[in-house]
Amino acid sequence: MLHNEVKTIENSAEKIRELIPEARVAVAHGQLPERSLERIMSDFYHRRFNVLVCSTIIETGIDVPSANTIIIERADKFGLAQLHQLRGRVGRSHHQAYAYLLTPPPKAMTRDAIKRLEAISASDDLGAGFTLASHDMEIRGAGELLGDEQSGQMETIGYTLYMEMLDRAVKAIRAGKTPNIDAPFNTGVEISLNLPALIPNDYIHDVQQRLVMYKRIANTQSDSELKELQVELIDRFGLLPAPLKKSNSPNQASPSC
C-alpha cells in the first residue's frame, strides 16, 4: 500500500493491522535509517512481511516477484508518469497483478488530476508508456513541440531554428561527419506578421495528427500541393479555421495552409 505522507504513514499501517489482524505489516519510507530500510525491503522480498505500507520510495526500487497488488492512496496527487511507474511495481512475475487507485470524489479533484486518472485507466496494454508520456506532456503544459507554448531549449531559440539545427545535425551524422555547431546558418529575410499560424486544438484534437499535418505543410513545394492538402483538411476535419487561412485582399479571403 502506498501512503505518501510520512507523518501519518504509521496510522495507515495501524488501520490495516486492525482490519486484517492476520496480516504481517511493515512500514518503509525515505526518512528511515539506511540499514533499517534495507532490512525491511529484504524481509518483504523474502516474504517475512506480506503487506508493505510505504512512500514513493518504491518507485525505482527492487523488483518483488511475489508482489501482486498495489493500493495507491490519493492517486490524484501523483503525476501520470509517476502513476505508470508505481503501477509497474507489481506484476513483475507470472502472477496476475492489480493496481487500485484511491481518490476523493471527482468534485474534490482538479481537472488535470481527472485527466491523468482517465489516461492511466485507459492505458493498460503493452507499449502504453509512450502514449502516457504524450498525455503527460499535454496535461502538465510542458509545451507542445508545435505551439505557442514552448519549454526548454526550443523556447530559447524558437521552433524554426531548432528544426534547422536538428536537420543539419542529422544530415552530418548520416554523412559520417561530426556536426559543427559553430557553423553559421544561411542568412535570409524573416518577416513577422504577428498573426497566429497554428492548427487549433479544437480543429485537430489528436496531437499526433497535428504533428503529422505540420510536417506535411512544411514539406509542400508548390501552391498546388498546398491546395491539395487544403482539400484533404476540409474533407477530414471540416472548414478551415481562421489561423489556417490567408487574405489575398482586404475584402477577400482564401483558405490556405
Q: How many Å apart are CA 177 and CA 158, to the nearest integer?
A: 25
Query: Which amino acid, one-letter code, is at 213?
Result: M
Question: Residue 137: its pLDDT value, please?
Answer: 55
Question: Residue 255: its pLDDT value, please?
Answer: 43
Question: Residue 186: its pLDDT value, please?
Answer: 61
Q: Within a domain: residue 103?
A: yes
Question: Residue 257: its pLDDT value, please?
Answer: 54
> Counting beta carbons within 10 angstroms of the beta carbon of residue 79, is it exposed (0 to 12), middle (13 to 18) or buried (19 or more)?
middle
Question: Residue 149: its pLDDT value, please?
Answer: 53
> Counting beta carbons within 10 angstroms of the beta carbon of residue 224, is it exposed (0 to 12), middle (13 to 18) or buried (19 or more)?
exposed
Q: Within a domain: residue 174?
A: yes
Cell of 157: 531559440
The answer to whether residues 134 and 159 belong to one domain is: no
> Counting beta carbons within 10 angstroms of the beta carbon of residue 130, is it exposed (0 to 12), middle (13 to 18) or buried (19 or more)?
exposed
Q: Give strand ranges (E) for 36-154.
A: 51-54, 69-72, 98-101
Structural domains counted in the chain: 2
* Per-residue pLDDT tens listing for the chain (257 residues): 999 999 999 999 999 999 999 999 999 998 999 899 999 999 999 999 999 999 988 887 677 888 889 999 999 998 877 887 888 788 777 778 888 999 999 889 988 888 888 877 776 655 555 555 555 555 555 444 545 555 555 556 666 677 778 888 888 888 888 887 777 666 566 667 676 678 888 888 888 888 888 888 888 888 898 889 999 999 888 898 888 875 444 443 444 55
| Nearest C-alpha neighbor of 27 from the set 103, 70, 45, 6 | 6
The answer to whether residues 86 and 162 belong to one domain is: no
The distance of Cα 126 from the centroid of its chain, to the nearest Å, equals 16
Question: Residue 3: its pLDDT value, please?
Answer: 93
The answer to whether residues 125 and 179 belong to one domain is: no
Cell of 49: 512481511
The answer to whether residues 123 and 225 belong to one domain is: no
Q: Within a domain: residue 147?
A: no
Of 113, 140, 167, the residue that ends a domain is: 140
The answer to whether residues 25 and 50 belong to one domain is: yes
Q: Within a domain: residue 1?
A: no
What is the extent of the structural domain holding 225? 152-186+194-255
> Phi and psi of 139, rounded to 5°?
-65, -45
Cell of 72: 495507491
Question: Residue 25: its pLDDT value, please?
Answer: 95
The conformation of residue 109, written as its DSSP 8-state character, comes to S
Q: What b/e sequence results for 35-66 when a residue is b if at least 16 CB atoms lie within 10 Å of its CB, and e otherwise?
A: eebeebbeebbeeebebbbbbbbbeeeeebee
Q: Within a domain: residue 66?
A: yes
The answer to whether residues 29 and 100 belong to one domain is: yes
Question: Residue 2: its pLDDT value, please?
Answer: 93
The answer to whether residues 63 and 176 belong to one domain is: no
The answer to whether residues 173 and 92 belong to one domain is: no
Q: Within a domain: residue 214?
A: yes
Cell of 190: 524573416
Question: Residue 196: its pLDDT value, please?
Answer: 67
Beta bridge mates, 247: 253
pTM value is 0.50
